[in-house]
Structure 1
Amino acid sequence: MSPKTTAVIIVAAGKGERAGSVEDATPKQYRVVDGQAVLSRTVTAFLSVETISSVLVVIHPDHVDRYAALELAHDRLMPSVAGGPTRQLSVLEGLKVLAPQRPDRVLIHDAARPFVTRHLIGRVIAGLDGYDGALPTLAVTDTIKRSLDGTEIAKTEDRRQLFAAQTPQGFRFGQIFSAHMRATNVRREFTDDAEIAEWAGLRVSMVEGERDNIKITHPEDFQRAERILMSGEGFETRIGTGYDVHPFAEGDAVWLCGVKIPHSAKLQGHSDADVALHALTDAILGAIGEGDIGTHFPPSDMQWKGAASTVFLRHAGKLVEERGARIVNLDVTIVAEAPRIAAHVPAMCAVIAETLGITADRVAVKATTNEKLGFIGREEGIVSMASASVEVPRSR
């Protein structure tokens, strides 16, 4: 029996006007939090789960250029689709696009919940066992009052029976697609997909939600999002190190940190022999437990002969993104008697930052000599060492 497939619809078709401000009218899903757009964080979180078969983002028709500017790319990320005038109709558009794939399950998630974790995603999928749908919830802790006119209290609710709903909400695909199609004939707007499932007579289970799985709705929610990121909750920091050495050969320039520097020799290697980027790539791969550069780009493979080492570095950065992780800082040390690199350091940091999609202040490049000792002192080659600090979703 083939494994069950799980598709994801990320609803990003709203204009996010309530979360805007006088200073920044950017729709909330495209606002940047700690260097990354909200929608990018949300998409990356789902792509980091290997059991997700495909991810579809439903966007506002006016946001095509904004979405393209995020430069999201992955073999499991489908081309975006334009949504409708309401959330309910936007979800239906997504379901229609997924229908030819006939996935077994579908998770429907709000783009404005960027802190969804792989653990919560797993609980929702597991909650579908024996049920038609699964809904993450949090127990209501405040006392809830009901009022008919907003002025006078009419009743106190029993909070033991009240739960706040979150997303992603999971369903068996055929059943929720059918329910959504039928719901288009009902003259009222449903508040979420679980309500449509209830209306259609489907059985929906509840699984434990997460406090940090907030929905960014108002301007102050961005401040809360920053606090969540600063607290590091849900993440752990891992350190990777890299070391590489290349001998000199006849030539007129060396590649170091993606910058070509004139010299009386070149570095010998299968690719462009950028010893610094090789060490840095190994450091990043080590931080996320992904082996070394030779595992991903074997020197025996002729397609990498003469290749720019930024290709290797970019690959390592993509693996970090796919795990929902983030690079904290990178540190590179180059050990050589020559050439002198001090004047090239700003350009080196800029190349690394651009290749990985991070800010240059997270990158440090330093150089030192070997005090004329050993093969480095004899100017027979160059050594580079690197370290990478990466925050990854915390394992349980």
Structure 2
Amino acid sequence: MEIMIYAHIMAGGIGKRMGNTPLPKQFLKLGSKPIIVHTVEKFILNDQFELIIVSTPKIWVDYTKEIFEKFGVTDERIRIIEGGSERNDTLEKALEFIEETNGISETDSIVVHDAVRPFVSKKIIDDNIKALEKYKAVDTVVPAFDTIVRGNGKEVTEIPVRDEMYQGQTPQSFNIMTFIESYAKLSSEQKVILSDSAKIVLLSGEKVAMVEGDNSNMKVTTPYDLRIANAILSEGH
């Protein structure tokens, strides 16, 4: 049976934390190109992907097509589809698209990445795919250099051991059937609360592999992040 590996670029957010901008953050310029173009170009370099699915808000689908055409993002594997209202809805719609397009077998996998993490490396993507040979789910992480504090907003309730703490990044990668089955076990309330896909699989009892990320694999969420990202780009990343 042929194993299909899909890429899913999540560009469904409106980016309220970016402030008063005319475009969602994934379309803002980083250097000479929109952030989303930098990100998708990283995935085009990998010939293992059957399809590269890009999910955007419905009203931005046509704009995304125009942007890709303008900046020469012409890989025939790219499919631009409508995302959902929440992260899990967006992933669900991508999986439904795969089912309708190619069907889904027990060995098929998906590598899910935030559109606003434009500096993901080939190594991180390759390591995710490699880890899927042994695990049904993979999370990209970096060590937490600061002490992590759990609290209720007023008081500290716990200070976990820092050496055991990591910060999650993306990609997060999954055996598709495993994710679908894990998601189906959740209650409606859990589906709203649980925005982290790796946690959904973890709660179903599956082991989740850790792949080493990189501090440059940052998420561009605020104006400050965009300034940092431009600085990274100017250094030749």
Fold-level similarity (TM above 0.5): yes
Partner of 1:291: none
CA–CA separation in structure 2 for the residues paired with 1:143 and 1:136: 19
Please provide the CA RMSD for this pair.
1.7
Partner of 1:11: 10
Q: In structure 1, which of residues 178, 189, 201 is the aligned counterpart of residue 205 of structure 2?
A: 201
- Equivalent runs, 1:64-213 vs 2, <5 Å: 64-70=61-67, 71=69, 72-78=73-79, 80-100=80-100, 101=102, 102=104, 104-148=108-152, 150-183=153-186, 185-187=188-190, 188-213=192-217
Partner of 1:32: 29
Q: Decide whether the 8 Å contact of 1:92 with 1:180 is kept in 2.
A: no
- Equivalent runs, 1:43-62 vs 2, <5 Å: 43-62=40-59
* Cα gap change, 1:184 to 1:36, in 2 (>3 Å): farther
How far is the alpha carbon of 1:191 from its aligned partner? 2.3
CA–CA separation in structure 2 for the residues paired with 1:57 and 1:139: 29
Q: Which amino acid aligns with 1:228?
A: I
Q: Decide whether the 8 Å contact of 2:61 with 2:81 is kept in 1.
A: no
How far is the alpha carbon of 1:185 from its aligned partner? 3.6
Partner of 1:325: none
Q: Which amino acid aligns with 1:20?
A: G
Q: Which amino acid aligns with 2:57?
A: H
Q: Decide whether the 8 Å contact of 2:55 with 2:83 is kept in 1.
A: yes
- Equivalent runs, 1:248-287 vs 2, <5 Å: none
**How many residues get paired?**
228
Q: Which has the higher strand share?
A: 1
How far is the alpha carbon of 1:85 from its aligned partner? 1.1
How far is the alpha carbon of 1:184 from its aligned partner? 6.3
Q: Decide whether the 8 Å contact of 1:20 with 1:28 is kept in 2.
A: no
Q: Decide whether the 8 Å contact of 1:133 with 1:169 is kept in 2.
A: yes
How far is the alpha carbon of 1:26 from its aligned partner? 1.4
CA–CA separation in structure 2 for the residues paired with 1:189 and 1:147: 18
How far is the alpha carbon of 1:186 from its aligned partner? 4.3
Q: Which amino acid aligns with 2:160?
A: E
How far is the alpha carbon of 1:147 from its aligned partner? 2.3
Deviations 1:335-361 (A, max 9, x none): xxxxxxxxxxxxxxxxxxxxxxxxxxx
Instruction: Name the SS for the 2:157 alignment partner.
Output: strand
CA–CA separation in structure 1 for the residues paired with 2:11 and 2:117: 10
Q: In structure 2, which of residues 213, 217, 229 is the aligned counterpart of residue 225 of structure 1?
A: 229
CA–CA separation in structure 1 for the residues paired with 2:227 and 2:207: 37
Instruction: Name the SS for the 2:173 alignment partner.
Output: strand
CA–CA separation in structure 1 for the residues paired with 2:109 and 2:157: 42
Instruction: Name the SS for the 1:168 alignment partner.
Output: strand
Q: Decide whether the 8 Å contact of 1:92 with 1:181 is kept in 2.
A: no
Q: Decide whether the 8 Å contact of 2:10 with 2:115 is kept in 1.
A: yes
* Cα gap change, 1:184 to 1:57, in 2 (>3 Å): farther
How far is the alpha carbon of 1:182 from its aligned partner? 3.9
Instruction: Name the SS for the 2:52 alignment partner.
Output: strand
Q: Which runs of 5+ in 2 are unaligned?
A: none
How far is the alpha carbon of 1:12 from its aligned partner? 0.8
Q: Which runs of 5+ in 1 are unaligned?
A: 234-396
Partner of 1:63: 60
Deviations 1:113-164 (A, max 9, x none): 111111110011111222111111111111122222x233333221111111
Instruction: Name the SS for the 2:178 alignment partner.
Output: helix
When normalised by structure 2's length, the TM-score is: 0.89
When normalised by structure 1's length, the TM-score is: 0.55
Deviations 1:280-305 (A, max 9, x none): xxxxxxxxxxxxxxxxxxxxxxxxxx
Q: Decide whether the 8 Å contact of 1:11 with 1:108 is kept in 2.
A: yes
- Rg comparison, structure with higher value: 1
Instruction: Name the SS for the 1:10 alignment partner.
Output: strand
Instruction: Name the SS for the 2:170 alignment partner.
Output: coil
Instruction: Name the SS for the 1:29 alignment partner.
Output: helix
Q: Structure 1: which 4+ aligned runs deviate by more than 6 Å? A: none
